[in-house]
Structure 1
Amino acid sequence: MTGLQQSTGISSKSHTGVNDFQLAPVHRFLGCMIGQFHFSPAAQPLAEALLAAEPPEIAASVLNECESEAMLLAAKQILDATLNLAEWDDGVLEAIIPAPVLRGGRVDREALWRWLEEHRKAAAAALDGVADLGTAATHDLLRGRAALSLLGDCWLDTVSQPATQPGVIVNILFGQRWLLLGEGCLTRSCVAMRRRALEAAGIFLPPISDPGFFRAAAADAMTSLQAAFLLSLSRYPATYLPELVGIHAASHALGIDDRVAGLVPIVTREAAWEALDTYLDALNDDPAGETLSRRLVDAMRVFVCQERRQLAMLVERAGQSTDRPLDQQVAEIIRRHAPFAGKQHRRVRIGGKPLSERLVETDQDLASFLQDFKRSGYLLADAKGSCRFLDAIKFRGPMFGIFSEQEASVLKSWFQSVAQTRDEPVVLEPQGQDEPVARLWLDNIRKRRPRDTVFESATGLDDRTLFYRLVNIENFANTLSVALERARAGLSRAEALFNAEAAGQHTDARFFEYSPDALEARIESIYWKKLVDPYAPLGEIPSRDEVVFGQKYYALGNMVDGAWAYRSSGTRCVERIADTALFAIYADEMGLGDLEKNHITLIYRVLESLGIDLPHIREETFIDQDEIPDEFYTFPLNQLSIGLFPNRLYPEILGYNLGVEMFGLGELRLHEIQKLKHWGFDPIYEAVHLSIDNLSAGHARQALTMIQDHLAETERRYDADTCAVEWRRVWNGYASFAYFVEGGTLESSPSVTTDDDAGADHCALTL
């Protein structure tokens, strides 16, 4: 590899190596072996119904239903069918994409690099050929890639999670995700820049979370299925980490979307290769190295095959862009916009039916619609040489801005031809040359029963088993309903604090009417009166054993630090004003991709200094660990549960986040640092939080500001009453954190804790 690294400028040593970090034990995570996946029996018919839809709707469901057990089962079927492409695609994989060499059970990196270079150059030549054809061809190519381009690196959505942190490869990938998302500035993200490139070319698409996005953005079934596959991978990043690492490297090696958009890549192919190189280093001495290597290479072959096939289809279509009949070009325009024809068009009738009732899902439907549209009064020429339809799409017309400049030009040319073709039958070509392959792919997804699945309800789980399942939620989707019930129970009980006679010792969850100033005043009051002013150095330090026990008390909550927010930065979760700020806090907690600064690394450092040796929380052996007592599981279970529902419990997560970040300040933290230093233990975890959670400009201030921004956006989009309802939910999230801090548990009856009876030590929580 020396020659390869010198020739490409790649060094596998520029990041902390898997075995180089000496300050804390490194938990090597190279991906789960495919084990059993547990679903409830009710999920099966729901998943079948989801997959019975057409490809654009399947992709939309996998994107938007991220909290659905049925979606996770459908995603598993999509992954199984796609990654086993060679079993059903009649040898095309072997014919088009020869396998990179596995030598001695490990990847031949030089052969793999040459293989990727070969396909990168072929893709670049194809794209340059389209550019030479002119603006219309380039426009078609941009539109054809839009659905995939605007997904960005969706497979990295939850690569950082309780089951995978801290790990070297996970932190490298997460650091690249941080860059791709604009380092906390959404307008600098790769997806935002690609969308601007599309709009500069006159291609305007709905938000990616819109149910009709894939109908509008994907011109063919193959593209929608490819999007569904990549989104499905994003639902199982821990289980399919080898596949994810390979696909990430292959995607950036090909570099199709940035090249099409004319952008400089945020993550270069060399940087993506570095992540791959580091991963392959770790496989060298791993007992499962050969199996994981083969999975990685097989996934790369499938992905590159998909990309080359989709690109070939788009290049062929772009080459025909100026030669296609006008009826065909107009049909494609209508197909893109038809999903958005709603009740506002109820007065528009074509062929005797309201426009909103004219389905154009098949070529036959579309041909019939075009025939009726040609004969309608909307295309009758007037004295000015125009018509009602063209007038409607001009400036000041009711449809102005719906069609791009290029689309409007096609529609005008079509109108000018209508007088001669009004009575001729409309004959449309099939949507794409790969439609038969898409149907074969879809049939295999629908018919293939997912491997290694168990259908059973999640009942009778003790706290240790539930904790293990929530950490490994990819394998235990049937536990989602248990998690939601637990989160809702915690929120319901916490409302008891809304009407408390007095504040707690460290919190004040009493309800108040919202205004930005009122929230600011409450938070400053908590900061000074509850966290800072009460502080005085301890006059007497507890015994060594008491200090160790106290750290055990907090350890489990600290080991799932950030779990409430790790799902809040998914591909669809970048449209609300607070999304990026919440992700920025989580990214900070994970060290922005720097393993040494990762907060999970820091807590393992502390535990090591205390002489506490624990297996990783994802390991089944953790269930039987004897360092942390059963009663300390309540708080981390609540934290894991609420974090699994970033859409359903979004306002509650914002409030919960405020509680967590505020609690990192003041008296309790300073006392812990004093005790740890006295006995020679590592205080790094407490010291870091005391600094970065500051109310001046740190996480506490950011948590406060994002709530104010979210509520301002809510009132602006809806009204004051909706904002008031949203505020109550936000404060309920804060109260749910306060409830645990002040001694509440889900097992006890609701009670209100006052200043007088709140003790210094309560249930285990994140500091």
Structure 2
Amino acid sequence: MATTSTATGSRALFRALVDPEWRPDDGTGLTASLRRRVHAVAARAQMFDPTTPDALRAVETVSLERLSVSRERALGVAASSAGDDQVVNKALLDLAPFTLTTGFALANLTGPWNAEQPYALAALRILAADVGHGQPLSSRADSYLEILRRRRLIDAGAHLQQTAADARICEGAFALPAALMLMARFPESCAGFLLGATLYLRSVGLLPVYLALGDEAGDLRGPVLDLGRDPRSGGPGPREAAVEAVREFVAAYPSRGAEVSAGYLWCRAGVETLHDRALNVLERWADPAEAVIDLFRRRRREAAVYHDGSALGGKTLQHFFAPGADPADLLEQLAASRYVKPGNPDRSPLVNGLISTRGGMFRIFSTEDVAVLRRWILALPNGSRGGGEHREGLRDGPRDGSALWADDPLVPAVAGEPVGDPARLGIREAYRSLLHRETGAAEHAYAVRYAADWLARAAQGLSRCPLPAAWEPAVLAPWLQEQHERQDAAFQAGSDSLTEERLKDDSLGLAPLVLIDGAWLIGFTSPDLATSVVGYPLFNTYWDELGNGVIAENHPRIYRDLIDSMVPAIAETGSAGFAHDPRLSDGNFALPVFWLSIGRLPRTHQPEILGLNLAMELSGVGGGYRSTRQALKRFGYSTLFVDLHNTIDNIATGHSAWAAAGIDAFMTDLPGPARAAAWERVRTGFVALNPPPLTRKQQLSLTFRRKASAR
């Protein structure tokens, strides 16, 4: 079994990386290639110490000076294109891949393996700002999408797959964003480079290329497109967090400071290239003929099918649409034809009669296409039939603006990694391995299989699922209230008979689970999911579990402090010492491995994750947390962890309510016939928090399948 996805250019790589579940190579060869390319750029620049304020200020000053030329050019484009919709549209389109994906560089920098480390939490704060702090449709990208909507260009960004497929966008526009997105898939081996790139992007303020948008940018020239500022508050939070992340990373890994510097200089070179090539295209686009040539280039294949009987200049139109034909030749013939009245689009059949409801080209051109053609016709000299000097000018450069910005990948071609034989991992080693985002194909295959097996087991327990048998728009709110009252009743009827030793044993046994709090939601740090109507409450929950990026409020750290006060200190979560701690049983790792497995599959198992999330957030509210609090208080231990969760998970405005809201948003968007199957999957996810034990027959079947797949 092997993956079949292959990315051979920046656009294809960008398209693949939009999917949070797509897997490139495990990094053995690819990360080495990435490192060589980044260091090759850094070697041509002066390295610096990113943790020294004076050195950082000096390199930032140089970076801003280097962008000053681009700033003047961008202002020139904005001035010359004032009122010229086609130039502004081209700017918006070519900037879309970069603008819509800046947060992806940070999406994987925080995970269960480093959730207690200050550098990771600082990086998470930057991501949270980019995606709108977990509010729906309020990310930096969403603000840019609003501009696209106003100009009817939304098909370029309604989904990032559409961005990748949009032929109007130059190939080279995908190079830098694809490189950053790919590097983000290796958040451990490339962490220094990613933090260096982040430091550059968050330090230089508003990138000058955005000025080419002219007045169309409006208030986006403020905090929204300034990556160093919080788009909601306007404060300098992201820039400050980037500096903090770098400082803490180098403090934790002193030998990797050079990686940060290299990443900064590499990203600077990439942004400067983006500026230069984008502005080259926009300056070229000032010629109205350029946009028409690009239109012909994009439509030539479909046009060739229908024009065998039409002729221009003594040649069939199919001749002009043949591969290798010069689009400028067709433009010259059209300008001299009866279809075009130079300087007067209103009288030109090409953009009125031919595209009318009774014309032979009805709906062939979009509204934007017609605007492109009208602009060109209007610019033709009155009475001119061929363009003269204008035609010769087109011969001076490439036939279309896109060729001015051809793909120049910043990373090598990437093929999907062969899966091979899934590793026969023991549960403890699986836990230790799956803590990481950057794993091999065998470990990933293990996770996929483990999640499927666990969910199949959970499905056997649907008969005891307390969720309503069918979903209706208003069913979850009163159901939550009923469950809350039941849990309160159980608490009131319970007895406070837990011994201190049992309390210690139970608390330690939960450590593999609680120290990865939120792991089932890790996939929702992908920016497009984090800001979606269904995904934003899940990202917000994950953001809360890690203390909103503040180490003192970080839930795993709070729980670690509690455990350390009860028993001899436990090892770091990702260490062999923790995974093989003799005080822990194999059973203590079973549910945590499920969390780590399903968290990798936010699209494949979205309904099940929604159900699991509700079960988890509701599980202790009003009952279990209060019982545990009594025991902790009786024996003199801190009650902070359970106090925090009993409030933050509340059913009115807390995580339980958010979990229900995510489910409602997901179910509401489904057509009626699909709801029953989806609701069963949600209920299966709910049961998966505490599935029924395997029968002997199920255990034998599972063992047989695992052995067969490992052969």
Same fold? TM cut 0.5: yes
User: Structure 1 regions of 5+ residues with no counterpart?
Assistant: 1-40, 751-767
Aligned mate of 1:658, from 609, 614, 625: 614
Q: How does 1:503-514 map to 2 (within 5 A)?
A: 503=464, 508=466, 512-514=469-471
When residues 134 and 421 of structure 1 are mapped into structure 2, their CA distance, relative to the original with a 3 A threshold, is closer
- Asked if structure 1 preserves the Cα contact closer than 8 Å seen for 2:521 and 2:538, the reply is yes
Match of 1:385 in 2: 347
TM-score by length of 1: 0.76
Q: Confirm or deny that 1:117 pairs with 2:64.
A: yes
- In structure 2, C-alpha distance between the alignment counterparts of 1:632 and 1:373, rounded to whole Å: 76
- Asked if structure 1 preserves the Cα contact closer than 8 Å seen for 2:277 and 2:404, the reply is no
Letter in structure 2 aligned against 1:332: D
- Asked if structure 1 preserves the Cα contact closer than 8 Å seen for 2:564 and 2:570, the reply is no
Cα deviation, residue 229, structure 1: 0.6
Match of 1:364 in 2: 324
Q: SS of the residue aligned with 1:646? A: coil
Match of 1:63 in 2: 18
Per-residue CA shift, 1:220-261, capped at 9, x if unaligned? Answer: 332212221111122222332211211111112233458544
Cα deviation, residue 592, structure 1: 1.8
Letter in structure 1 aligned against 2:537: A
- In structure 1, C-alpha distance between the alignment counterparts of 2:322 and 2:125, rounded to whole Å: 44
Cα deviation, residue 723, structure 1: 2.4
Q: SS of the residue aligned with 1:641? A: helix
Cα deviation, residue 551, structure 1: 0.6
Aligned mate of 1:677, from 611, 633, 637: 633
When residues 513 and 436 of structure 1 are mapped into structure 2, their CA distance, relative to the original with a 3 A threshold, is closer
When residues 383 and 407 of structure 1 are mapped into structure 2, their CA distance, relative to the original with a 3 A threshold, is closer
Cα deviation, residue 647, structure 1: 0.8
Q: SS of the residue aligned with 1:364? A: coil
Cα deviation, residue 625, structure 1: 2.2
When residues 253 and 517 of structure 1 are mapped into structure 2, their CA distance, relative to the original with a 3 A threshold, is closer
Match of 2:291 in 1: 329
- Asked if structure 1 preserves the Cα contact closer than 8 Å seen for 2:351 and 2:373, the reply is no
- Asked if structure 1 preserves the Cα contact closer than 8 Å seen for 2:515 and 2:557, the reply is no
Q: SS of the residue aligned with 1:131? A: helix
Per-residue CA shift, 1:112-156, capped at 9, x if unaligned? Answer: 333333335444344333333332455543332121111132111
Letter in structure 2 aligned against 1:387: P
- Asked if structure 2 preserves the Cα contact closer than 8 Å seen for 1:204 and 1:404, the reply is no
Aligned mate of 2:412, from 445, 460, 473: 445
Match of 2:314 in 1: none
When residues 182 and 406 of structure 1 are mapped into structure 2, their CA distance, relative to the original with a 3 A threshold, is farther
Per-residue CA shift, 1:352-409, capped at 9, x if unaligned? Answer: 79xxxx9x99983783996799599995889973437546878997478652785364
When residues 275 and 405 of structure 1 are mapped into structure 2, their CA distance, relative to the original with a 3 A threshold, is farther
Q: Confirm or deny that 1:42 pairs with 2:2.
A: yes
Q: Confirm or deny that 1:265 pairs with 2:223.
A: yes
Cα deviation, residue 578, structure 1: 0.9
Letter in structure 1 aligned against 2:488: V
- In structure 1, C-alpha distance between the alignment counterparts of 2:556 and 2:345, rounded to whole Å: 74
Per-residue CA shift, 1:419-456, capped at 9, x if unaligned? Answer: 945999997825569879845x47x713x999xx9986
- Asked if structure 2 preserves the Cα contact closer than 8 Å seen for 1:79 and 1:229, the reply is no
Q: CA RMSD in A?
A: 4.3
Match of 1:163 in 2: 113
When residues 402 and 248 of structure 1 are mapped into structure 2, their CA distance, relative to the original with a 3 A threshold, is farther
Cα deviation, residue 563, structure 1: 0.8
Letter in structure 2 aligned against 1:410: R
Q: SS of the residue aligned with 2:625? A: helix
- In structure 2, C-alpha distance between the alignment counterparts of 1:413 and 1:402, rounded to whole Å: 16
Match of 2:132 in 1: 182
Match of 1:481 in 2: 445
Aligned mate of 2:375, from 410, 416, 419: 410
Match of 1:349 in 2: 306
Q: SS of the residue aligned with 2:680? A: helix
TM-score by length of 2: 0.81
User: Structure 2 regions of 5+ residues with no counterpart?
Assistant: 212-216, 230-235, 311-317, 700-711
Q: SS of the residue aligned with 2:510? A: helix
Q: Confirm or deny that 1:458 pairs with 2:419.
A: no
- In structure 2, C-alpha distance between the alignment counterparts of 1:602 and 1:746, rounded to whole Å: 37
Cα deviation, residue 78, structure 1: 6.2
Q: SS of the residue aligned with 1:475? A: coil
- In structure 2, C-alpha distance between the alignment counterparts of 1:361 and 1:239, rounded to whole Å: 48
Cα deviation, residue 705, structure 1: 1.9
- In structure 1, C-alpha distance between the alignment counterparts of 2:193 and 2:560, rounded to whole Å: 28
When residues 128 and 496 of structure 1 are mapped into structure 2, their CA distance, relative to the original with a 3 A threshold, is same
- In structure 2, C-alpha distance between the alignment counterparts of 1:497 and 1:223, rounded to whole Å: 50
- Asked if structure 2 preserves the Cα contact closer than 8 Å seen for 1:83 and 1:302, the reply is no
Letter in structure 1 aligned against 2:66: H
When residues 207 and 711 of structure 1 are mapped into structure 2, their CA distance, relative to the original with a 3 A threshold, is farther
Cα deviation, residue 350, structure 1: 4.1
Q: Confirm or deny that 1:599 pairs with 2:563.
A: no
Letter in structure 1 aligned against 2:375: V
- Asked if structure 2 preserves the Cα contact closer than 8 Å seen for 1:651 and 1:730, the reply is yes
- Asked if structure 1 preserves the Cα contact closer than 8 Å seen for 2:38 and 2:263, the reply is no
- In structure 2, C-alpha distance between the alignment counterparts of 1:644 and 1:583, rounded to whole Å: 14
Letter in structure 1 aligned against 2:100: L
Match of 1:141 in 2: 91
Match of 1:246 in 2: 196
Per-residue CA shift, 1:519-548, capped at 9, x if unaligned? Answer: 44544433323x122222754432211110
- In structure 2, C-alpha distance between the alignment counterparts of 1:319 and 1:79, rounded to whole Å: 37
- In structure 2, C-alpha distance between the alignment counterparts of 1:401 and 1:206, rounded to whole Å: 14
When residues 338 and 162 of structure 1 are mapped into structure 2, their CA distance, relative to the original with a 3 A threshold, is farther
When residues 265 and 626 of structure 1 are mapped into structure 2, their CA distance, relative to the original with a 3 A threshold, is farther
Match of 1:492 in 2: 456
- Asked if structure 2 preserves the Cα contact closer than 8 Å seen for 1:56 and 1:218, the reply is no
- Asked if structure 1 preserves the Cα contact closer than 8 Å seen for 2:419 and 2:441, the reply is no
- Asked if structure 1 preserves the Cα contact closer than 8 Å seen for 2:278 and 2:405, the reply is no
Identity %: 16
- In structure 2, C-alpha distance between the alignment counterparts of 1:369 and 1:211, rounded to whole Å: 33
Aligned mate of 2:77, from 130, 141, 150: 130
Per-residue CA shift, 1:639-685, capped at 9, x if unaligned? Answer: 11111100111111111111111113122221111111111112211
Aligned mate of 1:696, from 641, 652, 670: 652
Q: Confirm or deny that 1:51 pairs with 2:7.
A: yes
Q: SS of the residue aligned with 1:319? A: helix
Q: SS of the residue aligned with 2:689? A: helix
Match of 1:194 in 2: 144
- In structure 2, C-alpha distance between the alignment counterparts of 1:314 and 1:255, rounded to whole Å: 18
Q: Confirm or deny that 1:649 pairs with 2:605.
A: yes
When residues 476 and 202 of structure 1 are mapped into structure 2, their CA distance, relative to the original with a 3 A threshold, is same
Letter in structure 2 aligned against 1:42: A
Aligned residues: 665
Match of 2:513 in 1: 557
Letter in structure 1 aligned against 2:324: Q
- In structure 1, C-alpha distance between the alignment counterparts of 2:457 and 2:321, rounded to whole Å: 49
- Asked if structure 2 preserves the Cα contact closer than 8 Å seen for 1:225 and 1:438, the reply is yes
Letter in structure 2 aligned against 1:331: I
- In structure 2, C-alpha distance between the alignment counterparts of 1:118 and 1:384, rounded to whole Å: 47
Q: Confirm or deny that 1:293 pairs with 2:257.
A: yes
When residues 104 and 419 of structure 1 are mapped into structure 2, their CA distance, relative to the original with a 3 A threshold, is closer
When residues 712 and 253 of structure 1 are mapped into structure 2, their CA distance, relative to the original with a 3 A threshold, is same
